[in-house]
Structure 1
Amino acid sequence: MNPLKGACIIGQSGGPTAVINASALGAIQSALQSEQVTRVLGAANGIEGVLKERLFDMAREDPGELELLKYTPASALGSCRYKMAAPSVDDTDYRRLLEIFRKYDVRYFFYNGGNDSMDTCNKISKFMQQSGYECRVIGIPKTIDNDLHGTDHCPGFGSAAKFIATSCMEVHQDLRVYDKGRVTIVEIMGRHAGWLAGSAALATYAGAGPDLVYLPEVPFRMEEFWQDVDRIYRQNGSCMVAVSEGVQYADGRFVAESGDRDVFGHTQLGGLGAMLAESVKRQTGAKVRSIELSLLQRCASHVASKTDIDEAYMAGKAAVEAAVSGQTDKMVAFERITENGIYSCKTKLIGLEEVANVEKLVPREWINARGNGVEQPFIDYVLPLIQGETAMQKECSLPRFAKLRKVPAKPEQR
């Protein structure tokens, strides 16, 4: 295959993570070093920034500041939740993208995101092919939900799991300082997949965590929930519950459904912990408190997993290397290798069509029969992903995050 020379665009999309910028750094540094990539452009707020021609010249960033991206949470380039219609329905956005790509001689497009972002990637890739414009498109995985199909796990999940487990262990200690019992309900993110809520069981594995864990993969039965809580509360004098925000009744209704939907059609959830706390209080008469970990799950870089950081960087680097070697229409994925009990990970490529809008759920056999806890295989799966400590720089004992200049890019004169 003939070498393809041209600029690249790197964009971030969807909900951020503690390590999404490590993926951006892997891609940026690899692209800057590539002889095939003539310019490295960052998209302001994902695909919306490309459409609005808001691009940054990443070569004009201080290399030292770029290095700090590895330990900086959230999306340093800016994110978006923008749904592109299918080209067959409305090709306005795609024609605009093609105009921008030609204007800046963009021949490589890297998009870092989750399920919806991979759908966007897939649509753009197919449109460019149909238009006869050679542009290699590679998706870089990202999601704390760990629900992307085709990859063993997702960058961002390990750090979120570590934060959840650590927070649950700390809350568990606090619950036992008084001689009067209490029921505590911890609400954890996760719409259809329970990987995050299940990670709370790591705290129990370590000896100080929730007594009950509820995942969306198993139908939620309110009466059984009350029974479980009441039994443990009377037996131990206290009860700690971890529950996914996306738990559903047997008929598919979310327990916490608000009725509102986002641009991708996802039902808006919220307030599950408080709702369940009130119901337990009415049923048992116990003193009940609810805790919603909320955005802290995806931005707590102070307890990020070194394994997660390193793998996120590896994903961004692998995306650029794959594209330069001639690959397109793919997403970088992880393959787990365990030899003699030692974990390692390598990258592979899967087709964008295979992963777009497909969710990976927790296997039913990894959840106990009653649906209120996880089995050992789940613990064995997650433990390697949370290992290692962050090398975050600090000033005055506070985190030193990257401060990008974000110099606007201009088309080169031809």
Structure 2
Amino acid sequence: MAKKRNIIVGQSGGPTAVINSSLAGVYKTAKERGFHKVYGMLHGVQGFLDEQYVDLSTQIHSDIDIELLKRTPSAFLGSCRYKLPEIHENPEIYQKLFEIMEKLNIEAFIYIGGNDSMDTIKKLSDYAIIKGHTQKFLGVPKTIDNDLALTDHTPGFGSAAKYIAASTKEVIRDALGLNYKKESITVIEIMGRNAGWLTGATALARTEECEGPDAIYLPEVVFDIEKFLKNTRELLKKKNSVVIAVSEGIKIADGRYVCELSGGSDYVDAFGHKQLQGTAAYLANFLGAEIGCKTRSIEFSTLQRSASHMASRVDVDEAFMVGGAAVKAADEGDSGKMVVIDRLSDDPYQSNAGIYDVHRIANHEKLVPRSWVNKDGDYVTDEFINYIEPLIHGDYQPFMVNGLPQHLVLKRKQK
């Protein structure tokens, strides 16, 4: 009797509005391709090490559930920020992971995540080659930061950009409505440690009826606080209400994050990432003290990650596409690869799924090209806007119950 073909999928890293659309793509395609069971690891590879997993057929019972899952933000299976050690440092962890996979008759291992998650796929596929294991390992891109190499963009980014652009317009309207012969400055802080893709998305707020933010500062350009002060003073000569967008990760010339200038947190995660917060608050306080007008800081913080009520249809559809493409690639014998999105055209916008060696992607960051930021370093160019604009198109309306979006929730059972 032939061995039953099973597949396992996990989610890792920060949440997005469409990460579960990729999960739905994995599940639906795996079923269509004849996989017997589709397991979901709970809290990524870290939970899988503790044998925490679920048969997804106990959670997804119909096409309606698949549609509901596509509209549910954040990691349905739970996520983790767990860094696998190098193979030579702790081979026992790898032995344990492969023993669990053998027990479950796993043929393909799919991991949905960002840079650090692709490092996991790279290490597991390398170990499989070294030890002669036959499981296939495929990565599915996911990050609102849009900083994965070789893919045109990442699922999660378009919806976050749509939310950021819409919210920036609303912040600008709010600030304009409150000001009468009084000067005010609003500083908006947006996620982005080293890459300013999300902060640049605020430029989309510049429309027929909205001037958009007055200045945009990305981490790709060294932040000069005196130049920032001078520019803000100049803006206030022209208008009473000034709105400025900054990345949380902007740095001054000596390499320090701006948020560290006020003390900040000493917390560092498993990947060595410092916790960044308070950039806008520091700058608003600085401007208030120097200029003497009303200032306000606004952190979009986690709101921009899981705003599925503002999801882009392009984003939801592409997330589903890359999930399915990973299953197809594994089923056809690929391993150690990540699915990417290739842009075919801008007008009309079209894309399809491609695939690249994960060794060329893991631990590499895609930054905003310097040529896509103006000479003064305080705004993005039309080329940046033209790149991002198609990714926010279309709506994917949530299922509403009593006026609120409905989500699919994991029902846990004791194994």
Report TM bin, short chain. Answer: over 0.9
Structure 1 counterpart SS, 2:342: strand
The alpha-carbon deviation at position 343 of structure 1 amounts to 1.1
Kindly provide the CA deviation profile for residues 193-236 of structure 1, in whole angstroms up to 9, marking residues without a partner as x.
00000000110245242100000010000000101111101221
- The letter of the residue matching 1:191 is R
- The letter of the residue matching 1:350 is Y
- The letter of the residue matching 2:226 is E
- The letter of the residue matching 1:281 is G
Distance in 1 separating the partners of 2:226 and 2:207:
27
Distance in 1 separating the partners of 2:96 and 2:116:
20
- CA contact 1:4–1:107 (8 Å) conserved in 2: no
The alpha-carbon deviation at position 405 of structure 1 amounts to 2.9
Distance in 2 separating the partners of 1:87 and 1:60:
34
> Which residue among 344, 354, 373 is the counterpart of 2:350?
344
Map of 2:96 onto structure 1: 96
1:187 aligns with 2:186: no
Kindly provide the CA deviation profile for residues 105-164 of structure 1, in whole angstroms up to 9, marking residues without a partner as x.
111000000000000111111112211110000000000000000100000000000000
Distance in 2 separating the partners of 1:255 and 1:188:
13
Map of 1:224 onto structure 2: 227
Report the TM-score, using the length of structure 1 for normalisation.
0.95
Q: What are the within-5 Å matches in structure 2 for residues 14-25 of structure 1? A: 14-25=13-24
Structure 2 counterpart SS, 1:295: helix
Gaps of 5+ in 1: 410-414
Q: What are the within-5 Å matches in structure 2 for residues 348-387 of structure 1? A: 348-387=354-393
Distance in 2 separating the partners of 1:23 and 1:408:
26
The alpha-carbon deviation at position 331 of structure 1 amounts to 0.1
Kindly provide the CA deviation profile for residues 361-389 of structure 1, in whole angstroms up to 9, marking residues without a partner as x.
00111100000000000110000000001
1:112 aligns with 2:115: no
Map of 1:392 onto structure 2: 398
Distance in 2 separating the partners of 1:93 and 1:101:
13
The alpha-carbon deviation at position 60 of structure 1 amounts to 2.2
The alpha-carbon deviation at position 285 of structure 1 amounts to 0.6
> Which residue among 230, 233, 240 is the counterpart of 2:236?
233
Map of 2:198 onto structure 1: 196
The alpha-carbon deviation at position 348 of structure 1 amounts to 0.4
Distance in 1 separating the partners of 2:3 and 2:136:
9
The alpha-carbon deviation at position 260 of structure 1 amounts to 3.0
Structure 1 stretch displaced more, 252-261 or 300-309: 252-261
- The letter of the residue matching 2:390 is P
- The letter of the residue matching 1:365 is S
1:66 aligns with 2:66: yes
Structure 1 stretch displaced more, 201-210 or 349-358: 201-210
Map of 1:124 onto structure 2: 124
- The letter of the residue matching 1:201 is A
Q: What are the within-5 Å matches in structure 2 for residues 147-158 of structure 1? A: 147-158=147-158
Percentage of matched positions with identical amino acids: 45
Structure 2 counterpart SS, 1:269: coil
- CA contact 2:337–2:358 (8 Å) conserved in 1: yes
Map of 1:254 onto structure 2: 257
Distance in 2 separating the partners of 1:5 and 1:220:
57
- The letter of the residue matching 1:390 is Y
Relative to structure 1, is the Cα distance of residues 382 and 235 closer, same or farther in structure 2, using a 3 angstrom cutoff? same
Gaps of 5+ in 2: none
The alpha-carbon deviation at position 253 of structure 1 amounts to 2.0
Distance in 1 separating the partners of 2:254 and 2:152:
29
1:299 aligns with 2:306: yes
Distance in 2 separating the partners of 1:297 and 1:78:
18
Structure 1 stretch displaced more, 260-269 or 107-116: 260-269
The alpha-carbon deviation at position 301 of structure 1 amounts to 0.6
Distance in 2 separating the partners of 1:238 and 1:394:
37
- The letter of the residue matching 1:21 is N
> Which residue among 319, 326, 334 is the counterpart of 1:327?
334
The alpha-carbon deviation at position 391 of structure 1 amounts to 2.6
- CA contact 1:110–1:137 (8 Å) conserved in 2: yes
- CA contact 2:3–2:105 (8 Å) conserved in 1: no
Map of 1:283 onto structure 2: 290
1:263 aligns with 2:262: no
The alpha-carbon deviation at position 280 of structure 1 amounts to 0.4
- CA contact 2:10–2:43 (8 Å) conserved in 1: yes
Kindly provide the CA deviation profile for residues 232-252 of structure 1, in whole angstroms up to 9, marking residues without a partner as x.
012211210000000011232
Map of 1:243 onto structure 2: 246
Relative to structure 1, is the Cα distance of residues 4 and 380 closer, same or farther in structure 2, using a 3 angstrom cutoff? farther
- CA contact 1:189–1:294 (8 Å) conserved in 2: yes
- CA contact 1:151–1:333 (8 Å) conserved in 2: yes
Distance in 1 separating the partners of 2:214 and 2:314:
28
Distance in 2 separating the partners of 1:371 and 1:151:
25
> Which residue among 40, 43, 46 is the counterpart of 1:45?
43
- CA contact 2:309–2:397 (8 Å) conserved in 1: no
C-alpha RMSD over aligned residues: 1.4
- CA contact 1:159–1:386 (8 Å) conserved in 2: yes
Distance in 2 separating the partners of 1:5 and 1:242:
53
- CA contact 1:200–1:242 (8 Å) conserved in 2: yes
Structure 2 counterpart SS, 1:183: strand
**How many residues in Structure 1 have an aligned counterpart in Structure 2?**
405
Map of 1:412 onto structure 2: none
The alpha-carbon deviation at position 408 of structure 1 amounts to 5.9
Distance in 1 separating the partners of 2:207 and 2:149:
27
- CA contact 1:30–1:320 (8 Å) conserved in 2: yes
> Which residue among 207, 212, 216 is the counterpart of 1:209?
212
- The letter of the residue matching 1:370 is D
- CA contact 1:4–1:324 (8 Å) conserved in 2: no
1:11 aligns with 2:10: yes
- The letter of the residue matching 2:397 is A
Map of 1:405 onto structure 2: 411
Report the TM-score, using the length of structure 2 for normalisation.
0.95
Moved over 6 A (4+): none
